[in-house]
């Protein structure tokens, strides 16, 4: 299995990166290495850790002495392909690797959505969904080449739970929560136990009383776009 060398140059625009690093491309081709590069983000694939360390050292010397560029050591490493990322993508450790979303990309998405959840505490769920949908569509479109769909399923579940948590917050008091749960079809004993518990919004959002009251179909009816469904839709287009 190939190992990965990851090299990141200085802070350059993509255009300047391509001009400056054209000589690096030619050097890698001259050496017969397999590599991918976008702007100053470059992965070089070799057959062993020893080869990775040797190539990393020689390319760092080439970049510093020949091109007078500094390698970002914090973002560079010799590692297995599935332990690294490239443009937000990563790989599985299968014999025939598959493309997947990197954990770092998921973390960045959740950070991007943090203001949406914060604004949602004082607004309607419909308006929160309206703010979510363009972000979801754009994110899935970027990762349309992904072959492993588990991340999309996890994000669907996480998003629905966050929305249920917002609804729970908006109900505010135990009396309101009980009334709402009963109105939404939860049986009286479970509605009462759910409304009167002292747990926080995240716990209640994952509990059975909220999953019954605010079903997946309910959220879909509000217009919520599914990460997984959007990816499947895009798969239909070449």
pLDDT tens, residue by residue, 142-194: 999 999 899 999 999 999 999 999 999 999 999 999 999 999 999 999 999 99
Closest CA to 184 of 155, 159, 158, 221: 221
Residue found by looking up tokens 């899935």 in the block: 140
Token pair 């492993």: residue: 148
Burial 81-118 (b: 16+ CB within 10 A, else e): bbebbbebbbbeeeeeeeebbbeebbeebeeebeebbe
Which pLDDT value is given to residue 4?
40
Q: Which of 219, 35, 22, 199 is nearest to 129 (CA)?
A: 219
Return the pLDDT at 8: 43
pLDDT attached to residue 197: 95
pTM: 0.81
Predicted local distance difference test score (pLDDT) of residue 238: 64
Mean pLDDT computed over 10-34? 74
Place of tokens 């588990």: 150
Q: In this predicted structure, which of 19-23, 122-126, 170-174, 223-227 has the lowest mean pLDDT?
A: 19-23
Report how far apart, in Å, the C-alpha atoms of 217 and of each of 81, 120, 213, 222 are: 38, 20, 11, 9
Interval 191-219 mean pLDDT: 96
Quick check: 9 pLDDT over 50? no
* Lowest-pLDDT choice from 65-79, 99-113, 119-133: 65-79
**pLDDT at res. 118:** 94
> Mean pLDDT, the chain, as a whole number?
87
Run of H or E including 78: strand 77-79
Q: 148, 100 in Cβ contact below 8 A?
A: yes
Distance between CA atoms of residues 215 and 185, nearest Å: 11
Q: Each residue of 214-231: b (16+ CB within 10 Å) or e? A: beeebbeeeebbbbbebb
Q: How many CB atoms lie within 10 A of CB 5?
A: 26
pLDDT of residue 57: 83
Round to whole Å and give the CA distance between 104 and 232.
Answer: 23
183, with CB counted inside 10 A (0-12, 13-18, 19+), is exposed
């Amino acid at each position: 299995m190939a190992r990965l060398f990851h090299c990141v140059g200085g802070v350059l625009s993509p255009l300047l990166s391509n001009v400056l690093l054209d000589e690096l491309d030619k050097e890698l081709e001259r050496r017969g290495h397999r590599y991918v590069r976008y702007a100053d983000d470059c992965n070089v694939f070799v057959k062993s850790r020893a080869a990775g360390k040797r190539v990393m050292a020689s390319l760092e010397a080439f970049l510093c002495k020949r091109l007078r560029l500094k390698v970002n050591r914090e973002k560079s490493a010799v590692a297995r392909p599935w332990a690294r990322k490239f443009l937000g993508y990563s790989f599985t450790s299968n014999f025939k690797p598959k493309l997947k979303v990197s954990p770092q990309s998921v973390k960045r998405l959740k950070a991007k959505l943090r203001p949406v959840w914060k604004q949602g505490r004082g607004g309607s769920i419909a308006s929160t969904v309206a703010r979510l949908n363009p972000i979801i569509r754009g994110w899935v479109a970027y990762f349309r080449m992904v072959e492993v769909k588990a991340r999309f399923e996890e994000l669907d579940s996480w998003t629905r739970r966050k929305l249920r948590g917002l609804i729970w917050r908006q109900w505010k008091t135990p009396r309101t929560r009980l009334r709402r749960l009963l109105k939404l079809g939860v049986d009286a004993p479970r509605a009462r136990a759910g409304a009167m518990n002292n747990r926080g919004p995240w716990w209640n959002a994952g509990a059975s009383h909220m999953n019954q009251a605010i079903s997946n179909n309910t959220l879909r009816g509000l217009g919520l776009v599914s990460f997984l469904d959007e990816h499947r839709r895009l798969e239909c287009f070449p």
